[in-house]
């Protein structure tokens, strides 16, 4: 535990915990909406914000947040109105974001592509006190939205038409989801990196789904996985001198593989238990699944 004696590791671990909470908390809604790669697109756009931060001598984290939010809203508008040309517009937005970041950072005094490395792949030693302050504030926003509006966001993610019929402000909630995803990307970029953050938003959710079909349980398991792998990856990075972002993502994928292997026998055991509990005269197709009977399937 000697790493706790260093201030930079204390900051890195705090940032890692916040990333482990916020990334899966947003990712579960993106997975439900089948927008698993949205975080990757926002990460490309955020590069322009980082470059502008260096060029204008402003905080790259806050500038990346502003640019990411604009990019996320633009993506959502393209999804609504883009129709057949939407994919081309999104591609231009993503590649333009990357090109803008490289251009702006090279135009900055003393700037070079080397300055982007810690933002692209994460870095422990470069997490400053101002970064931690920004990450804490942004993470608080993400937690408030994802937990406070979980029922509404879940309804919109599952079925937009049904949510609209029930009177929910679907477009406003979609925009809020996109903005929250953009904020999450900038929260995670100092630890995981812009190019790898999407994996931490999606893979823990996919791993949690191997064990549970309940929304609430999946949410909790995904966050637990996220916190575990971010702390584990950060500590491993310190002792082994390896990139933290890559380490965290590989640990996340390892957790997914392990839970996938574990889930198969558990599923068979549940099936046998359900068959044993079924009354003798009832055909199998008439049985009510145990998870659905307990409200487990849609619990939020």
Contact 23, 135 (CB under 8 A): no
CB 51 within 8 A of CB 100: yes
State residue 278's pLDDT score. Answer: 65
Residues in the chain: 300
Cα separation, 267 vs 270, whole angstroms: 5
Distance CA(213)–CA(194), nearest Å, equals 30
Exposed, middle or buried by CB within 10 Å (0-12, 13-18, 19+), for 51? buried
* The pLDDT of residue 75: 85
- HSE-up of 137 (CA within 13 Å, CB side)? 9
The pLDDT of residue 286 is 47
Q: What is the pLDDT of residue 296?
A: 46
- Give me the helices (H) in the chain, please: 7-32, 38-56, 60-81, 86-107, 117-121, 129-148, 150-158, 160-165, 170-188, 197-208, 215-240, 244-277, 290-293
Tens of pLDDT, residue by residue over 134-184, are: 899 999 999 999 999 999 999 998 888 888 898 899 889 999 999 999 999
Nearest partner of 218 among 25, 17, 40, judged by Cα: 25
In the block, tokens 């609430």 appear at 216
Tens of pLDDT along the chain (300 residues) come to 777 888 888 888 999 999 999 999 999 999 888 887 788 888 889 999 999 998 988 888 899 999 999 998 988 888 777 655 557 777 888 888 889 988 998 888 876 776 777 788 888 777 888 888 989 999 999 999 999 999 999 999 888 888 889 889 988 999 999 999 999 998 888 888 888 888 999 999 999 998 887 889 999 999 999 999 999 999 998 888 888 888 999 999 999 999 988 887 776 776 677 777 766 555 544 444 444 444 444 456
The dihedrals phi and psi of 251, each to the nearest 5 degrees, come to -65, -35
Burial of 160 (0-12, 13-18, 19+ CB in 10 A): middle
Would you state the pLDDT for residue 291? 42
251 contacts: CB under 8 Å, gap ≥ 6: 229, 232, 233, 236
Q: Is 33 exposed, middle or buried (0-12, 13-18, 19+ CB in 10 A)?
A: middle
Q: Can you say whether residue 164 is alpha, beta or left, with left for phi > 0 and alpha for psi between -120 and 50 degrees?
A: alpha
CA–CA gap between residue 23 and residue 184 (Å, rounded): 6
Q: How many CB atoms lie within 10 A of CB 132?
A: 18
């Amino acid at each position: 535990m000697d790493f706790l004696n260093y201030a930079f590791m204390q900051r890195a671990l705090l940032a890692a915990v916040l990333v482990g909470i916020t990334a899966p908390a947003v990712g579960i809604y993106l997975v439900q909406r089948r927008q698993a790669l949205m975080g990757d697109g926002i990460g490309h756009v955020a590069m322009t914000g980082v470059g502008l931060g260096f060029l204008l001598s402003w905080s790259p984290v806050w500038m990346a947040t502003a640019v990411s939010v604009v990019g996320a809203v633009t993506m959502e508008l393209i999804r609504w109105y883009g129709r057949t040309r939407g994919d081309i517009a999104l591609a231009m937005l993503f590649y333009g974001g990357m090109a803008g970041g490289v251009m702006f950072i090279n135009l900055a005094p003393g700037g070079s592509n080397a300055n982007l490395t810690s933002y692209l792949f994460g870095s422990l030693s470069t997490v400053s006190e101002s970064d931690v302050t920004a990450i804490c504030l942004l993470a608080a926003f993400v937690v408030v939205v994802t937990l406070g509006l979980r029922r509404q966001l879940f309804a919109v993610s599952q079925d937009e038409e049904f949510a609209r019929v029930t009177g929910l402000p679907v477009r406003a909630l979609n925009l809020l989801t996109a903005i929250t995803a953009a904020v999450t990307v900038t929260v995670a970029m100092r630890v995981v990196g812009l190019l790898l953050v999407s994996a931490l938003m999606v893979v823990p959710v996919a791993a949690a789904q191997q064990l549970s079909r309940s929304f609430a349980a999946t949410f909790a398991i995904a966050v637990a996985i996220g916190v575990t792998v971010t702390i584990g990856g950060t500590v491993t990075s310190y002792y082994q001198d390896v990139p933290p972002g890559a380490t965290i993502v590989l640990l996340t994928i390892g957790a997914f593989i392990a839970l996938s292997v574990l889930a198969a026998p558990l599923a068979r055991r549940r099936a046998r238990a359900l068959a044993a509990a079924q009354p003798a005269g009832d055909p199998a197709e008439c049985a009510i699944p145990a998870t659905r009977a307990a409200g487990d399937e849609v619990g939020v």
